[in-house]
Structure 1
C-alpha cells in the first residue's frame, strides 16, 4: 500500500506538470499581427481618345473580267472561202479593218458588170424620152393650143425612164456592196475567241465566221448589298458623261504568289436590282487591259479572270474608325467616365470589315477602352495609366487601298 501511494503520487505530479506546461505554452504563444488586406490591383487598359474626322471608306467586292463588246461575226453573202488571214485563229489579236476571210468574188464581179450595162441602158432611155418630150412640146405649140395633154407630152414615159434609171443605179450600188462583202473585215480592234469556218468551206448569208470581242475596254460586274450601295456615289442618274464623277476602283489579283493591281472606274449600274440575290451590280471599266508596261511584270487583265475590287466610297463626316477586337456583341464598346468606370455604349455602325468598323455616333472626346476585357462589368474601375491612343494613331486596314485612290 505505501508503494502504491507513492507511485500514484508520482503519476499525479507528472500529469499536473504536463498540464501546466501545455497551459504555459498556449498562454505564452505570441499572437499573430493583424495585417490590413490591400484591395486587388485595377486592370490596366489602353484608352482611345476619339476625335471624329472625315473618312473615305473602301468597299470590297469581287467579280469576273468580261469584254465590254462581244459579237458573232457573220457573213452577209454566200461564197467559197478562198483565203484566210494568218491571225485567223483562236486567241489571236487583230486591228480594226483587218480582213479575216476572203470569199470567191467572181460571181459578184459579173453582177457589177451587168448592173453597169443596165445603168447605161437606163440612161439611154431617159435621154430618148427627154428628146421625145421636147419634140411633142414643139408639135403641140405649132397646133396653137395652150394646154397640152400629159400623155401627148410623154410625161409618164419620161417619169418611168427616170425611175428605171434610179433602179439601175441602186442595182449597181447593191452589186458593188455585195462585192465588197466578200472581204469580211473586223469592225473594231479586238481578239478572236473562237473560229467557225476554214479555208475551202462554202458559206451562206448568216453563217457564223468567228466570235470576237474588243480589247480596248473590259468590264467587271461587282455585286453590292444595300449597305455598300449607300456608301458609294453610284452613277445611277442620267447625266452628262463628260462631267460625271465616277467612283475609283482598284482591282486586285494574285498571280504566281504576287498581287497585281489595275485601276478602273465605276461607270454605271445595271438596269435593275437582281431579284434573286437583291444585289445591285455596279459595272467597273478598265481601259487598255492588254497594254504592257515595260517597267512592270504585271500580266494583262485577261477575260475570265476573277478579281477582288476595292471601291472608293463617298467621304463621311464625323466618322470614327475603331478596331474590331474592342467591339462587343457586334455594335457595343466600353467607354469611361470621369472616375475611370466602364459602361457599354451602343454604336451606329456605318461599315464593318474583318479588322475594323466605322461609326458616326461617337462624340469628340469620348474615351473608349482600347483593350479587350474578358468579362466586363458595368461600373467596374480600370487603370488607364498613360497608355492613351489618339484616334489618328489607329492603323486603318484600308490605308493601303486609300493610297492608290
Structure 2
C-alpha cells in the first residue's frame, strides 16, 4: 500500500539528503598518505562533516582548518572548525580565511593539501582582493542575491573580487600538491562554480564579470568597479603551472540525490521520471512550467501516464521585488500551487538539501490539492504573497513548511511532484 502522499514526499526528500552525506561519499576518494605533511582545508555547509569523515578514516598525522555555516559545525579532533555567515559574508569568515592562507604558506612539494569544498563556500571563504574591504564584498553579495542572476553568473563576479577564489587558493598552496573533493550544489557540476572554484583554473575574465554587472544593473562600490575595469581582479587561467599535478573529484552531486529519492518512490509502487538535475530559471516561471506538465499528464497522459512521480534538481533564481520572507523553493511552490489551482491528485515538495531556503532556517514546503482553498479559508491572498516574495509566511500559516535543521550537506534544490 502506498504511503500517504505527504509522507512519501518527505521520505523522498530525506533519502535525497541521506545519499549526500559526507560519511557515505567522501571515504572512497581519500588519497594515499604523502611523504610530507597533510594539511586539510575547506569551506562550505558540508565542509565540517567532510572534515570529520576524513579524521575518522585517516590513520596518519594531519592538521587543518575548514569554515562552515553557523550551526553546521561538527566536532573534530585535529582539524579546526570555524563557523561564519552565509549567504552574506562576515568578519568571522574573513578572519578564518586569513588563517587558512597562513596554514598553507611555505609548503613543500612533498606536502599534500586536501581541500574539502561544498556549496556555500563562496560566502564562507572570504578574502577580499587587495584594495577591497569586507563591506565591499557584502554589498556586492547582497546585490547579486537580489538581482535574479544565475549561480554561475554570481560566482563569475565573485571570483574576480577575491584573494582566494578563481584558483588563487591553489596558488597559495603551491608547490604542494592539492587534491580537491567537491560536493556539487550547482547545475552542471562545473568545479569552477562550486564555491567559486578556489582551487581550479578559471576561464572567465573581468570583462565577463562586468558584462554580468551591466546585464542585471548591479550597483557596485567604486573600488569594486575599478578592480574589474582595470583587470586587477583577473583570476588564474587554465595552463597555469600552479595547477600541475593537482586533482579534483566530485564526490556527490544532485543526480545522486535524485536517484536515491527515485528508489523510495519506486518502492511505493510509482513510476518515476527524473526531469533533470540542473533546471534553472526564475522560480515562479519554473513553477508554472511544472504545473503545465502536470496538467498534460492528467488530461492527456503525456508525456507520462499517472500515477507517477516527477523529480528535478538544480537552482532556480528569484528576482526580489517585494519585502516578504521568501526563498527560491517556496517561491517555486507558491507559483506552482497558483497555476495548478487546486487540481485534484497533485502533491509537491520543494526544498534545499542544506536545510535553508533563502535566509530562513526552513528547508522548503509542501503543497496539496487543497492548498489554495485552505489559504483562502484563512484569509490569505496567495497571489499577493507571491508578488511580495513572501512564500515562507504563506506556508507557515498553512502549517506546510518543511524543517530539517542543519543537514550538513548541500546538493542544491530538490523538487518532487506526485501525480495520482
Query: What's the TM-score, normalizing by structure 1?
Result: 0.20
Bigger-Rg structure (1/2): 1
Larger helix fraction of residues: 2
